[in-house]
Structure 1
Amino acid sequence: MDKWRLIPCIEASGQVQMAIDTWLLEQHRTHHHPPTLRFYTWSPAAISLGYHQRQFPEFWKSLTWQGQAIELVRRPSGGRAVLHQGDLTYAVITSGLGSNRMQAYQAICEFLIQGWKQLGIELQYGEAGRGYIHNPNCFGTATGADLVTKNGVKLIGSAQLRRDNTILQHGSMRIKPDAKLFAQVFEQEIDVIDVEMTIETLINTLSKAAREHFNIDFVVQPLTDSEWSEILTT
């Protein structure tokens, strides 16, 4: 049975979180690190832009929430802007899923579907509307790489980066979003799902679902001091 690394939940800035994901991708690509699953939260609140997303409202540069500036950070992956407040992010770094991007998305997302089902929320893949290309808001539409409820409410938005045969897929799961802040940022209303479980319960359930889906064992290991040093100086 293959062994993956499970990194305990990290709360950090968006710049740091994206540096960790990028470092893990490169370490796995160069065969220095096993496949990895991790969950994390963003502090302070942030807006992450897709790697190729060049257009966004100027006022995003001066937003605040609870007295702190909202960080604007660029993801290494594609897609549209995501507001990271009241959400939990997952990241999977793995390889060997073939060249078809959508099949790889679904091979990874299946553990999320299974885990959320155990928590009482049924999810399915979204279908992009005609306005997807022009919508700067990731949660304003749902593609086949995203997971929505049966009522069409988007719960998880995911993005992917490939280098050679290696994949970084990370995604935002909306747990307790601030509807007023969301409306301020995107000038759109948000459909909120009432997610009652704690982040700890969610992580434990999704980790178990990942172990069963990928048929793996986890080695739980926080980032070491030397790894932090590499990540923060890259």
Structure 2
Amino acid sequence: MNQGLVIETPPLDVYEQMAADEVLCGELPCRYILRFYNWKNPGITFGYSQRYKTIYGSVSKEISRYLEMARRPTGGGIVFHESDVTFSLIFPWPREFKPMKAYSMLHTAVNAAYRESGIKSEISNAAAANYDINHPAAMNCFSNPVDRDILYNGKKILGGALRSFGDYMLYQASIQAENARTECSFHREIITKAFAGEFNVIWVKTELSESRLEKTKELALLKYRTVQWNERI
């Protein structure tokens, strides 16, 4: 049996959320780390390889409501964070980077946990061969379900993005079910249970240390708030 950490943080903005995940990937206080985002205010994240000008043009009508927009260290498309449950998972992956294999493993576990709870979710089998995160029709992550996403009544309710950090993988995900925040504890329990079973983990709850919180705020300022990062392509 492995031990994992469920790390609680104070309310963070979109830049600090991205920074917190990178800090934890860099320091790795445990081999398995699960973190549910505590949002200070609404925000938008977009994928590492998406073009900023195209993204900005796509969401400009929403900017009055979503004042903060940050590029993720992971891939994928645009995600609006207002009523979702957002979380990240760091786990060992000492092998070739094959995102679809990891994505399938994670979502199969989560889907099984939802179905065991009585939610009739399903895994998408949508073809992803022509998926282009910079194409207007595919830029918004949740309006464009792809292979291995989790669906409920035909609508995408969970999607995620990955990045390899050495022998570890960072998975950043969003649950966009209608009751995501009103029933937040239910969805958190599903995710916690799913990954406990998949990785044979006992979760221990803890808080982000003061030193890591300071590093998070510093990294947010020096990287995730900057034009150099957000408009890098």
Report the TM-score range of the alignment, normalised by the length of the smaller protein. 0.7 to 0.9
Identity of aligned residues (%): 26
Q: Report SS of the residue matched to 1:127.
A: coil
Query: Post-superposition shift, 1:131?
Result: 6.6
- CA contact under 8 A between 1:97 and 1:104: conserved in structure 2? no
Map Cα deviations across residues 135-190 of structure 1 (whole Å, 9 max, x no partner): 211112122242223x43111111001122210011110134xxxxxxxxxxxxxx
Residues 13 and 195 from structure 1, CA distance in 2 versus in 1: closer, same or farther, beyond 3 angstroms? closer
Are 1:19 and 2:19 matched, yes or no?
yes
Distance 2:104 2:128 in 1: 19
Report the AA paired with residue 6 of structure 2. Answer: L
Give, as a single letter, the amino acid of the residue that structure 1 aligns with 2:122.
L
- 2:44 corresponds to which of 26, 47, 50: 47
Tell me whether 118-127 or 71-80 shows the greater mean CA deviation.
118-127
Residue from 130, 138, 141 that aligns with 1:138: 141
SS in 2 for 1:132: coil
Pairwise CA distance, 1:129: 6.0
Structure 1: runs of 5+ lacking an equivalent:
177-193
Q: Relative contact order (C-alpha < 8 Å, sep 6+): which is higher?
A: 2
Q: Could you tell me which residue of structure 2 aligns to residue 160 of structure 1?
A: 162
Unaligned runs of 5+ in 2: 220-233
TM-score, length of structure 2 as denominator length: 0.79
Corresponding residue SS for 1:218: strand
- How many residues end up aligned between the 2 structures? 210
Q: Cα 1:59–1:8, aligned 2, differ >3 Å: closer, same or farther? A: same
From 110, 117, 120, the counterpart of 1:119:
117
CA contact (8 A) 2:125 2:146 kept: yes
Per the alignment, residue 222 of structure 1 pairs with 207
RMSD: 2.4
